[in-house]
Structure 1
Amino acid sequence: MKKILYFIAVGIGLFAACKKGDLVESTVYEKINPADPKYSYIKILNLTPASPALTFYMDGSKFSSALSTLGTENAGYAYNGLFPDLGYATTRPGSHTLTAKIIPTATADANLQVFSTTINPQAGKYYTIFTTGQYSATEKKIPSSVMLEDTRPALDTSKVFLRVVNLYNGSPNLDLTRDLATGTKIVTNIAYGTASNWVEIPNIGPGITPVVKTFFNVTGTTTPLIAAGFSLTFTKGRAYTVYLRGVAGSTTYPFSATIYTAFY
């Protein structure tokens, strides 16, 4: 069964009272079928170490926000913050200016714009935008970003697919192996700022949610960046992005591998 995406077309809070104690919601919703060419679909992942908490804007209009229960924008999306948490936000296809400002309740540099890039999403397509590089407290700037089209592989309820995005600052080219550092190679030679193709995890084993031990080795060696590797939990029938983050040689922002799945 297809899942349906919704977004609010008219602001929340437009209610009319029929009688005392009764409220009727008059907010208008639009039903959006997956890959509707009327829209482009966007996720944003802040992978800039030391980044302050941000609000993102599309052509000057607020595109993301994180609110407290009191309605104050006091959270935002700092390092490793993902917007939206589930699914995608929508925008019109074509050229846009995506910017980010430090949240207004920040103790330092509130509302300062620290990021700007031009994007050109196509009709009916899905994208993840990763902020990259390292945040400079002196320049107060996020230096770069990567926009990746989220093409969906042909899924199978008995299989798991993945791709690797290498955004580990200072990273050498990397291979992904499973079970052991000397084990089966799944992905090879992924340079910083690039993504692998979708690949099937071979011999995934029984159960709906298998746990796979993974190792990220310097390409052409059996030397993992983390000797203990990472145990990643997957659900069969899904496709996952495994993104690598951190700063080489940093204890504050160590190497890490994280996964997400976001397809409709």
Structure 2
Amino acid sequence: MKKILYFIAVCTVLLAACKKNGMTVENTEYEKVAPGNPKYSYLKFLNLTPGSPVANFYLDGVKFSSALSSSGVENAGYGYNGLYPDLGYAVTTPGSHKVTANIIPSATVDKNLEVLNTTITPAAGKYYTIFTTGQYSATNKSIGPLLVLEDIKPALDTSKIFVRFVNLYNGSPNLDIVRISTGVKLANNVAYGTGSSFTEIPNPGNGVAPINVFRVDNASNGTVLIPSFSITATKGRAYTLYFRGVLGNTTFPLTASFYTTFY
């Protein structure tokens, strides 16, 4: 019997999945959990390994990510830039856990191959985003190592939006991020494999979900790396903006993306 607990707003959904005759059967139970309940640790996975195959994540040998198949053969999972869960957090018990990832069994190459094997130790009542890193290739069949960032929730305000920046652009210089409309530097000198703290945008614009535009510079010499990228962000929420790709690689160019972290 496998149990996965999802945290969306102030509710969690407990998915109990079990194998029967080669099919995956899910039964759903509901449990109310207060945010930051010390009974749990709250996890989000984001696959940022360029070249990664489609895989699913396991904790202590039990499937943790929820991509399932309706055909009886697992054919869905999380490839490059795949986020699980897309909103909220999946939940586990605090303490040491073995994290593994396996290529989905319906893959045409290296099906079921283990491509990650490491350990995390999330603390009670805390939130984390777990990023895969590195570069996957025929000679490096791994989506590790992991970057584990604690997601420290800011004091949200419905008149503002909150942003942080994570640099996972392989070969990247340190980055500065500027809000174009004001010229204000929101984060500076963000090195590869690190993330900034959340910072507020006090006047994000008119409406419930205004558009905000940013620029990314090389922190050492001011060279503009991304002239502009925009996000449509709902006031009162916090977002993670992240940079991915491989320096000098046209298959995996420098790209800015974002996801909702808290709301």
TM-score by length of structure 2 reads 0.88
In the TM superposition, residue 9 of structure 1 has moved relative to its aligned partner by 6.1
SS of the counterpart of 1:111?
A: coil
Q: Which moved more, 1:205-214 or 1:64-73?
A: 64-73
Structure 1 unaligned spans of 5+:
14-25
Amino acid at match of 1:59: D
Match of 1:205 in 2: 205
SS of the counterpart of 2:261?
A: coil
Q: What is the CA–CA distance in structure 2 between the aligned matches of 1:83 and 1:220, rounded to whole Å? A: 34
Amino acid at match of 1:6: T
In the TM superposition, residue 10 of structure 1 has moved relative to its aligned partner by 4.6
In the TM superposition, residue 101 of structure 1 has moved relative to its aligned partner by 0.6
Match of 1:53 in 2: 54
Amino acid at match of 1:120: T
Q: What is the CA–CA distance in structure 2 between the aligned matches of 1:191 and 1:27, rounded to whole Å? A: 42
Q: What is the CA–CA distance in structure 2 between the aligned matches of 1:90 and 1:146, rounded to whole Å? A: 18
Q: What is the CA–CA distance in structure 2 between the aligned matches of 1:149 and 1:123, rounded to whole Å? A: 12
Q: Deviations over 1:152-196 (max 9, x none)?
A: 00111111111101001010001001227x932111100000011
- Checking the alignment, whether the CA contact within 8 Å between 1:65 and 1:73 is kept in structure 2 is no
Q: What is the CA–CA distance in structure 2 between the aligned matches of 1:140 and 1:69, rounded to whole Å? A: 28
- Checking the alignment, whether the CA contact within 8 Å between 1:88 and 1:262 is kept in structure 2 is no
Match of 1:7 in 2: 13
Larger Rg: 1
In the TM superposition, residue 224 of structure 1 has moved relative to its aligned partner by 1.4
SS of the counterpart of 1:108?
A: coil
Amino acid at match of 1:258: S
Cα 1:119–1:12, aligned 2, differ >3 Å: closer, same or farther? closer
SS of the counterpart of 2:169?
A: coil
Q: What is the CA–CA distance in structure 1 between the aligned matches of 2:140 and 2:239, rounded to whole Å? A: 35
Match of 1:91 in 2: 92
In the TM superposition, residue 102 of structure 1 has moved relative to its aligned partner by 0.6
Match of 1:189 in 2: 189
Q: What is the CA–CA distance in structure 2 between the aligned matches of 1:152 and 1:241, rounded to whole Å? A: 11
Q: What is the CA–CA distance in structure 2 between the aligned matches of 1:201 and 1:153, rounded to whole Å? A: 12
Q: What is the CA–CA distance in structure 2 between the aligned matches of 1:131 and 1:238, rounded to whole Å? A: 25
Structure 1 residue 253 and structure 2 residue 261: aligned? no
Q: What is the CA–CA distance in structure 1 between the aligned matches of 2:57 and 2:17, rounded to whole Å? A: 19
Q: What is the CA–CA distance in structure 1 between the aligned matches of 2:179 and 2:256, rounded to whole Å? A: 14
Q: List aligned pairs for 1:99-248, cutoff 5 A.
A: 99-179=100-180, 183-227=183-227, 229-248=228-247
- Checking the alignment, whether the CA contact within 8 Å between 2:159 and 2:202 is kept in structure 1 is no
Q: What is the CA–CA distance in structure 1 between the aligned matches of 2:255 and 2:141, rounded to whole Å? A: 25
SS of the counterpart of 2:224?
A: coil
Structure 2 unaligned spans of 5+:
1-7, 20-26
In the TM superposition, residue 28 of structure 1 has moved relative to its aligned partner by 4.1
Tell me which protein shows more strand as a share of its residues.
2
In the TM superposition, residue 8 of structure 1 has moved relative to its aligned partner by 2.3
Q: What is the CA–CA distance in structure 2 between the aligned matches of 1:3 and 1:27, rounded to whole Å? A: 18
In the TM superposition, residue 12 of structure 1 has moved relative to its aligned partner by 8.0
- Checking the alignment, whether the CA contact within 8 Å between 2:13 and 2:28 is kept in structure 1 is no
Q: What is the CA–CA distance in structure 1 between the aligned matches of 2:53 and 2:190, rounded to whole Å? A: 28
TM-score by length of structure 1 reads 0.88
- Checking the alignment, whether the CA contact within 8 Å between 2:96 and 2:122 is kept in structure 1 is yes
In the TM superposition, residue 202 of structure 1 has moved relative to its aligned partner by 4.6
Cα 1:56–1:10, aligned 2, differ >3 Å: closer, same or farther? closer
Q: What is the CA–CA distance in structure 2 between the aligned matches of 1:12 and 1:63, rounded to whole Å? A: 13
